Amino acid sequence: MGLWLKCPKCQTANPLDLKACANCNASLDNLPAAKRVYILAKAAPKATAGKAPPEGTASTEPPAKGAKGTRSRKKKQ
What is the model's pLDDT at position 42?
Answer: 78
Please name which of 31, 18, 8 lies closest in space to residue 67, comparing C-alpha atoms. 18
Rounded CA gap, 39 and 8, in Å? Answer: 13
Q: How confident is the model at residue 50 (pLDDT cuts 50, 70, 90)?
A: very low
Taking 60 as the threshold, does the pLDDT of residue 2 lie above it? yes
Centroid of chain to Cα 8: 12
Q: What contacts 8, CB < 8 A, 6 or more positions away?
A: 26, 31, 35, 37
> Where are the domains positioned within the chain?
1-65
Taking 60 as the threshold, does the pLDDT of residue 16 lie above it? yes
Q: What is the mean pLDDT of residues 40-59?
A: 55
Q: What is the mean pLDDT of residues 48-57?
A: 44
Q: How confident is the model at residue 75 (pLDDT cuts 50, 70, 90)?
A: low
